[in-house]
Amino acid sequence: MPNMNMLQAINQALDTAMAADDKVICFGEDVGVFGGVFRATSHLQDKYGRDRCFNTPLVEQGIVGFANGLAAQGSVPVAEIQFADYIFPAFDQLVNETAKFRYRSGNLFDVGGLTIRTPYGGGISGGHYHSQSPEAYFAHTPGLRIVVPRNPHQAKGLLLAAIRTPDPVLFLEPKRLYRAAVGEVPDEDYELPLGEAEITREGTDITLLAWGAQMEVLEQAAELAEKEGISCEVIDLRSILPWDVETVAESVLKTGRLVISHEAPLTGGFAAEIAATIQHRCFLYLESPIARVTGLDTPFPLTLEKEYLPDHLKVLEAIKATIDY
Amino acid sequence: MSTTASADIVHEPTFLNGDEFHIPRLELLRQDGTLHPQAAPPELERETALRIYRAMLFTRVLDERMLAAQRQGRLSFYMQSTGEEGTVVGSTAALDPGDMIMAQYREQGALAYRGFGLDEFMDQLFGNEHDHGKGRQMPIHYGSKTLNYLTISSPLATQIPQATGYAYGQKLAGDGHCTLTVFGEGAASEGDFHAALNMASVLQVPVIFLCRNNGYAISTPAHEQFHADGIAPRAFGYRMKVIRVDGNDILAVYQATQEARKLAVEHNQPVLIEAMTYRLAAHSSSDDPSGYRSRKEEEAWRDKDPVLRMKLWLEGQGWWSEDEEKQEQETRRREVLEAMKRAEKRPPPPLDSLVSDVYQELTPALAEQLEALKAHIRKYPEAYPKSAPALDTERGDARDA
């Protein structure tokens, strides 16, 4: 199995999807000849022509509006928003249009073919506007699927599934891992399930839950905790919406403890939703309060990014505090 | 850089504001129903002409009756298209039935022309179990897959970039179809309008942008909406072909749309049409225009009624008579009232339709929420008269449940 980084895996997923179905169309700012500012769409225009891989004008609301119409027509658009920080001009198209297209028409029309790819998250010295994690805004919107991969293998399989699922998907790519995460990725066409979490490490004392780039942080923290005799079960949520309550609840029923981590600010972050649901499902089994290790309730900083981010040490401290409660 | 050649270089500051352009307005039919002497009217067969007229007349009858029904408290909300029937029906008639229409909300005439059934109108207005939209949207949010009419969405202008995308797909499919998107002059202030026109021009897609410049966005008059000479000059900014027409002149609207369609379908050129018209009715049943415009102004536009103008033209052609007019009006009024009574009596959509179509498949979380809701309704059935009686009977279209 070849080794590759996450960008190469994403590029391969797009290539695979475009080869398998000529209705798949990729577009966005700088996506054409240049192959995207991160090169996720490299060589696709050469291979599939300008009609199927092209630059758009610099207008996010236009890109998503266009993508909605194209999907309603029966094409399979894969639109790129260059940074998740710049998705907000398209908020109306995503929240009022994409998410409600099928529902409001009584299933006469849908944009199920639509996938929006966008890099999110910190760790690249990007400051306020190249670092945000906006998943919670969209998680409040029934009708959208939100998917986040943690490594190259997951990225290819989840992206292929996202492109082919009959629901619109917001596919958030942890850009810190674009080149940093390298791993084995099968050459063949494969899909990984949407709406299903994955237990990446089995354990008995405490459950650690995250998604995307934060999975690396949980792994590091679990290693450190192991040395102190704490057995951690680690879960990658993978889909933020709809999310896999069962897998998380079953794990917490077993361990009695839960730490959730995300880069986005604490207040109103998706960990809050998970905590509320899990305390309801597992109330009598909980040994301690559910802990959240997140960014601060500030705009994303620049120079003090390391201090802001929920790193492995902060997670380790939360694990110990939860165990010793 | 992609701007004009160096020949245009000047050596002193020179400012332009667009007043250099003079935008003509296409008019073929005079208000008395006769043609302007120099006008070359489009070929319009008797059958098509009568179909257009009947759709306009029906729209007016429907609007009158349904506003009255709203005033009687039988209907929650309504929007009339009175005064704008010519713009909407005339443009629709110039399309191929396979062309997509993405409208704003005041385009019931397009559906009437394409053959949307009276019961289909009524079932949507009353949100009953036969409504294609399953009772999920306010009245007048029609949609029809078979008639290629995208379900209406309340947020303004969102359909415009969608039309660009839809038409891009039509271009790739190569089946010779285009998309017509309709919006008001107020909606043209939204960012989505500009995004849509620029993208359509850059990507060269077969889309027709039809602006109903009806003078008002609710209460805001056009002169407080924009400072330019209407909406038409905006096309220049995108190097897009544009035409302004008298929107109350059915022949002008028909001809302009026919020509625009040729440019779109045969040359993948997007076109902007600005139809000058007037919203004779209130914005909606919740609005009262007497607070922001004069009777005198309304009367002046009533004299330019597009339905009357077409009627006079048809009579001149010998295709229509006062008797036929009377009979048509009476028949349609009766049919509307009968259909309304039928629609009122139909039960609401089943409770399961509350959670279907959010995703293609029902999610476990939604199934759980539905069960919890059902348990609650069983406990307090009197509080939920719409759903309680049919709660445990198999019925309707909860396909996903």
Residues of chain B in contact with residue A71, where contact means CB-CB under 8 angstroms, are 165
pTM comes to 0.97
Nearest of A245, A208, A211, A212 to residue A230 by alpha carbon: A208
A174 plus A212 within the same structural domain: no
Q: How many CB pairs under 8 A join A and B?
A: 153
| Distance (Å, whole) CA A310 – CA A218 | 10
Which single residue is written with the structure tokens 């993508």? A67
User: pLDDT digit string (tens) for A50-77?
Assistant: 999 999 999 999 999 999 999 999 999 9
Nearest residue on chain A to B167, judged by CA atoms? A70
Q: Do B192 and A108 touch (CB under 8 A)?
A: no
User: Closest partner residue to B145 among A109, A242, A246, by Cβ?
Assistant: A109
> Are the Cβ atoms of B165 and A242 closer than 8 angstroms?
no
Q: Could you tell me if A231 and A209 lie in one domain?
A: yes
Q: How confident is the model at residue B364 (pLDDT cuts 50, 70, 90)?
A: very high
**Contact predicate B33/B248, CB 8 Å:** no
| B392 confidence band (pLDDT: 50, 70, 90) | confident
In the listed set A130, A150, A184, which residue is the last one of a domain according to the structure?
A: A184
Residue A190 within any structural domain of the chain: no
Judgement on whether residues A299 and A156 belong to the same structural domain of the protein:
no
Domains located in chain B, CATH noted:
24-33+43-345 (3.40.50.970), 351-390 (no CATH)
- Confirm if B69 and B94 have CB atoms less than 8 A apart: no
SS (HEC) of chain A: CCEEEHHHHHHHHHHHHHHHCCCEEEEECCCCCCCCCCCCCCCHHHHHCCCCEEECCCCHHHHHHHHHHHHHHCCEEEEECCCHHHCHHHHHHHHHHHHHHHHHCCCCCCCCCCEEEEEECCCCCCCHHHCCCCHHHHHCCCCCEEECCCCHHHHHHHHHHHHHCCCCEEEEEECCHHHHCEEECCCCCCCCCCCCCEEEECCCCEEEEECCCHHHHHHHHHHHHHHCCCCEEEEECCEEECCCHHHHHHHHHHHCCEEEEEEEECCCCHHHHHHHHHHHHHHHHCCCCCEEEEECCCCCCCCCHHHHCCCHHHHHHHHHHHHCC
Work out the pLDDT band at B394, boundaries 50, 70, 90.
low
Residue at A9 is within a domain: yes
Report chain A's terminal Cα–Cα distance, integer Å. 45
DSSP string of B16-43?
Answer: --STT----EE--B-TTSPBPTT--PPP
Q: Quick check: is A203 in a domain?
A: yes
Among residues A150, A184, A218, the one where a domain terminates is A184
Q: Directed axis angle between helix B46-71 and helix B85-93, to 10°?
A: 140
pLDDT band at B399 (very low <50, low <70, confident <90, very high): very low
Q: Mind listing the pLDDT tens digit for each residue in B255-273? A: 999 999 999 999 999 999 9
Q: Write down the mean pLDDT value for chain B.
A: 95
Of B292, B359, B378, B399, which residue is the catalytic one? B292
Low-confidence winner among A95-109, B13-27, B50-64 (lowest mean pLDDT)? B13-27
Same domain, A277 and A172: no
Domain membership of residue A192 (yes or no) is no
A148 plus A239 within the same structural domain = no
Task: Name the residue range of residue A293's domain.
Answer: 198-323
* Structural domain includes residue A175: yes
What's the pLDDT score for residue A4? Answer: 98
B400 pLDDT higher than 70: no
For chain A, residues with pLDDT lower than 50 are: none
Contacts of B202 in chain A (CB under 8 A): 56-57
Interchain contact, B169 vs A105, CB within 8 Å: no
Q: Does A16 share its domain with A159?
A: yes
Q: Which of A56, A100, A104 is the best substitution to test chain B (most B C-beta atoms within 10 A)? A: A104
Do A157 and A211 reside in the same domain of the chain? Answer: no
Q: To the nearest whole angstrom, how far is the Cα of A234 from the nearest Cα of chain B?
A: 23
pLDDT at B236: 96
Examine the residue annotation and report whether B279 is marked as an active-site residue of this protein: yes
Element spanning B272, H or E = strand B271-276
pLDDT tens-place string over residues A259-275: 999 999 999 999 999 99
B332 given a catalytic annotation: no
Please check whether residues A202 and A315 belong to one and the same domain: yes
**CATH code, domain with A156:** 3.40.50.970
- Would A189 be classed as within a structural domain? no
pLDDT exceeds cutoff 90 at B281? yes
Question: How much is the average pLDDT of B183-195?
Answer: 98
Q: Are residues A139 and A215 in the same domain?
A: no
Per-residue pLDDT at B3? 75
Q: How far is B65 from chain A (nearest CA, A)?
A: 25
Sign, CA torsion B342/B344/B345/B350:
positive
ipTM for this model: 0.97
Q: Are residues A27 and A137 in the same domain?
A: yes
Q: What is the pLDDT of residues A238-294, one digit of tens each?
A: 999 999 999 999 999 999 999 999 999 999 999 999 999 999 999 999 999 999 999
Residue at A286 is within a domain: yes
Note whether B162 contacts A97, CB cutoff 8 Å: yes
pLDDT at B6: 61
A208 reaches B (C-beta below 8 A): no
Catalytic hit among B65, B114, B261, B279: B279
Q: What is the CATH number of the domain that holds A311?
A: 3.40.50.920
Count: domains in chain A = 2
- For chain A, positions 254-283, list CB contacts with chain B under 8 A: none
CB contact A193 to B (< 8 Å): no
β-bridge mates for residue B208, sequence order: B180, B271
Query: pLDDT grade, residue B1 (50/70/90)?
Result: confident
Confidence of residue B301 (pLDDT cuts 50, 70, 90): very high
Which residues of chain B are within 8 Å of residue A70 when distances are taken between CB atoms?
165-166, 168-169
Last residue of a domain, one of A157, A184, A211: A184
Which site among B120, B142, B166 would you substitute to test the A interface, given the most A Cβ atoms closer than 10 Å to its Cβ? Answer: B166
pLDDT of residue B65 exceeding 50:
yes
A62 Cα to chain B: minimum distance (Å)? 5
Look at residue A27 and tell me if it is in a domain. Answer: yes
User: Does B11 participate in catalysis according to the annotation?
Assistant: no
Looking at residue A157, its pLDDT comes to: 98
Q: In this structure, are A115 and A171 located in the same domain?
A: yes
Q: Which chain B residues touch A246 with a CB distance below 8 Å?
A: 364
Could you give the C-alpha distances from A181 to A3, A26, A155, B300, B354, in angstroms and in order? 10, 24, 11, 70, 42
Residues A153 and A212 in one domain: no
Note whether A109 contacts B: Cβ–Cβ < 8 A.
Answer: yes
Res B2: pLDDT: 75
Q: Quick check: B4 pLDDT over 90?
A: no
Rounded average pLDDT over B345-368 = 97
DSSP output for B205-271:
--EEEEEEE-SEETTEEGGGT-SSSSSTTHHHHTT-EEEEEETT-HHHHHHHHHHHHHHHHHH---E
